[in-house]
Structure 1
Amino acid sequence: MSVIHIRGRHGLNGEIRIQGSKNGVLPIMAGALLHRGTTVITNVPIIQDVLCMMGILEYLGCHCTLEDHTAVIDATYAEVAPVPCAMSGQMRSSVMLLGPMLGRFRLAVSRHPGGCCLGNRPVNLHLDAFRALGAQIRTEGEQICVFANRLHPATIRFPYPSVGATENAILAAAAVSGATRILGAAREPEIEMLCAFLGSMGAKITGGGTSCILIEGGVSLHDSTFEVNGDRIVAGTYLGALLRSGGRLLLRGAAASQMEESLRLLSSMGMEIAVRPEGILAKMSGRPCACDFSTGPYPEFPTDLQPVMMAGCASADGESRIRENVFEKRFSCAEELRKLGASIIIEDRFARVKGRHPLHGARVQAKDLRGGAALVAAGLAAEGETFVEGYEHISRGYEDISRDLAQAGAEIALE
């Protein structure tokens, strides 16, 4: 397997173009199933999860192409079929196909989704939303079957603002005649993006990005073209790398309006940040300041950026405290960061990180997507050489993290 080789202690200077949003494009690709025609999606990131989703859509009978970051999905002849375990087990977002398959075919069959091992990630909220719309659920082992002779509009109340469950409810309700309300909806920018995409197909949806979403379902959909926003987590990752390495970066295409809490925390740690029409300009010199922060649903600090911020805290001036409120196993990269010399104590959902400078190079293992990116960021500021194994996890969400950072002056290569 490929390994990322880093020679540390080189500042970052230059410009990085931010790829399209992973968490935005996957539900949009699933949503293309709702229309018996062609959907064009631009600014698509060339990542493993996108390729996996394309494979599943083609298995279901869609015709898909991906060229120059533009995906064309023709779902005219799509058919309902059980998604094979080998496909659904590769990524969490495979569960997003249940909603559009139920909406279009009144039948959806899949297996419990895969992805990173971050702890308990049940799909009960997804299934409760389908039940509210009139569907029945049958589970056998790892297989999930959702079906209905007739679906009806409903008021869906979520006790927790689950992003995936909100997206699945929107996708299913868009094909149900009548008005469906979602209360307690997730407010992430990716939800707003999905609603805008469905609107470009002719759907009538209001409230995307708020806790109350109204879907006037059952309207006729048409061919459409939609551009995916820049990935706020990738942008945050590169800012986290700058936090440790120092220098000056322009992140072209980064959506600052979607990153307010992340930018606030980075500023408190000593980073100078300016929002420009073309993206985010950031400067960093010296060691970062220690900080205390907690993760939570948007607009709180995103759990996906917690590992890279932990890496930043590992070399900060002072002791930082982190509370992880979303995934109980999101601290899994702490063990690998310790191999680089980090001082991290984990107690349940809390982490205490005593900053040390400099860290030292070592051979480490990426165990999940965001933890792997954090190890790359840590290696950039460590003395000597760092080798990050487990690149297959990182490639699920980053087009080419080595290419991007090398363009900004890092000594890094994929070998």
Structure 2
Amino acid sequence: MEKFVIIGGKKLSGEVEISGAKNSVLALMPATLLASGTYKIYNTPDLRDVKTMSQVLIEIGVNVNFENHILTINTENVSKYEAPYELVKKMRASIYVLGPLVGRFGYAKVSLPGGCAWGPRPVDLHIEGIKKLGAEVELDSGYIVARAKKLHGAKIHFDKPSVGATGNVMMASVLAKGITLIENAAKEPEIVQLGEFLISMGAKITGLGTDTIEIEGVDELKPADVTTIPDRIEAGTFLIAGAITGGKVKIKKCNPKHFEAVLLKLEDAGCYLNVGDDFVEIEAPDEIKPVDVTTAVYPGFPTDMQAQWIALMSIANGTSVVTETIFYDRFKHVPELVRLGADIEVNENVAIVRGVRKLKGAKVMSTDLRASASLILAGLVAEGKTEVLRIYHIDRGYERIEEKLQRLGAQIWREKTDEY
């Protein structure tokens, strides 16, 4: 086990490059199952989740090689259509293999997923979507088992937009017979990239980036290469790192259009921004203004930035209200921030954050990926020493975050620990 040790109080300054998007590459990787051959995925981040998805594909019979942020995938020898519990329990995105396997091979056996430690996140939308395409689906001893001689196009309406379900149905339907219409589809950049990748493989898809996606099934696809888009959540996290420490930070190799909602809120908080085509510079104000936030599906304020925003608001000059509308119980980070001296009250899906003059270092524990980021951000500004335990969570979605923060002047390092 490892922990982060942080000595807070350093104003961050300098430049940092944003890595490829975790949530994008985790969809691109299973999409390679749809056609036999060799693929290259450039700008792949070196993350625990990428390694887990690689193991899922290897279990299926795929050859995977990762070197210099290039992921080379060969799907010529797919021989097993099962994603086992031992791997899927580590990461919810493993369910992405369901759509491509049943779409191409007519069979898939995928364990019900695990992943983040907060709240129920049902896979009903995935299952119902696959059923609508004509698959027979049953739950058997903790596994989703789907069978279909040939999927056929259908009209699928999601009660709420789901990135995972939209991606899974899109991958399942590209080889189906006829036209599939996905209504109330997710519009996230990661879904747009997945669709564009499928198009480069020969799929016929229109409506990407809107709430209605139309897929006309084709007989076969061919391999293609792709470059992963920048990670918009990592970008937002590093901007908040600059803001919370009173610093001046430039993030590079990003796409500001993908996180405009975060940029607008940072401006509301008093930060000075210089936004280019592929960079953002942020300079913190003398004091952070309190700003209310309500999470929403894209292009709204992302739920994956909620924990980091609460960390920033914990030192704002005043009271802010953070409302979580995507995952109502996503507040496991709050008790740990309170240990650092934050004044936060949670009532159902609403957090009332009363800004304090200073946070003070303490020992805290990560409970999930974004909670980890919020604790690191708070530790960067807290007086004294903060220790963050269970940092395997952060390694799922941030590529060597401590090294990037060190280059900005932060005092943060890893240490071995027996504490869990």
After TM superposition, the score normalised by the length of structure 1 is: 0.98
Check whether the contact 2:255–2:277 (CA below 8 A) recurs between aligned residues: no
User: Aligned partners of 1:100, 1:223: CA distance in 2, in Å?
Assistant: 14
Partner residue in 2 for 1:189: 189
Separation in structure 2 between the aligned mates of residue 407 and residue 379 of structure 1, nearest angstrom? 17
What amino acid is the match of 2:98? L
The answer to whether the Cα contact below 8 Å between 2:311 and 2:374 also exists between their aligned partners in 1 is: yes
Deviation for aligned residue 1:280: 1.1
Which amino acid in the other structure matches residue 4 of structure 1? F
Within 5 Å, which residues of 2 pair with 1:42-53?
A: 42-53=42-53
- Conservation of the 8 A alpha-carbon contact between 1:287 and 1:316: yes
1:328 Cα deviation after fit: 2.2
Residue 3 of structure 1 aligns to a residue whose secondary structure is strand
Structural RMSD (CA): 1.0
CA contact 2:402–2:413 (8 Å) conserved in 1: yes
| Mapped contact 1:166–1:186 kept (Cα < 8 A) | yes
Aligned to 1:353: 353
Q: Percent identity?
A: 40
Task: Report the counterpart of residue 386 of structure 2 in structure 1.
Answer: 386
How many angstroms apart in 2 are the aligned matches of 1:382 and 1:170?
45
Give 3-state SS (helix, strand or coil) of 2:199's partner: helix
Q: What runs of 5+ residues in structure 1 fail to find an aligned partner?
A: none
The match for 1:238 is 238
* Contact 2:372 2:394 (8 Å CA) reproduced: yes
- Alpha-carbon distance, 1:371 to partner: 0.2
Q: What amino acid does structure 1 have at the position aligned with 2:324?
A: E
- CA–CA distance in structure 2, aligned partners of residues 197 and 205 of structure 1: 10
Q: Distance in 1 between matches of 2:81 and 2:219?
A: 25
1:7-406 alignment to 2 at 5 Å? 7-406=7-406
SS at match of 2:97: helix
Code of the residue aligned with 2:22 in structure 1: it is: K
How far off its partner does 1:219 sit? 4.1
Cα distance in structure 1, aligned partners of 2:284 and 2:305: 18
Equivalent position of 2:418 in the other structure? none
Letter in 2 for 1:121: R
Range with greater deviation from structure 2 (285-294 or 162-171):
285-294
Secondary structure class of the residue paired with 1:117 = coil
Q: Is residue 2:22 matched to residue 1:3?
A: no
Contact 1:240–1:308 (CA<8 Å) still a contact in 2? yes
> 1:329 Cα deviation (Å)?
2.4
The 8 Å contact of residues 236 and 305 in structure 2, kept in 1 or not, is answered as yes
Which amino acid is 2:46 matched to?
I
Query: CA contact under 8 A between 2:59 and 2:80: conserved in structure 1?
Result: no
Deviations 1:198-222 (A, max 9, x none): 1121212111111011112224322
Distance in 1, Cα, partners of 2:228 & 2:215: 21
One-letter code of the match for 1:372?
A: S
Tell me the distance in 1 between the aligned counterparts of 2:387 and 2:356: 20
Alpha-carbon distance in 2 for matches of 1:163, 1:278: 24
Q: CA deviation at 1:181?
A: 1.1
Instruction: Write the letter of the residue equivalent to 1:349.
Output: N
Distance in 1 of aligned mates of 2:279 and 2:204:
30
Instruction: State the alpha-carbon separation in 2 of the partners of residues 46 and 81 from structure 1.
Output: 26
* Further displaced range: 271-280 or 52-61: 271-280
Query: Contact between 2:232 and 2:259, CA under 8 Å: does it hold in 1?
Result: yes
Letter in 1 for 2:400: D
Q: Which amino acid aligns with 2:224?
A: S
- C-alpha distance in 2 between matches for 1:225 and 1:319: 48
Which amino acid is 1:54 matched to? S
Tell me the matched-pair count. Answer: 415
SS at match of 1:242: helix
Runs of 4+ in structure 1 off by over 6 angstroms are none
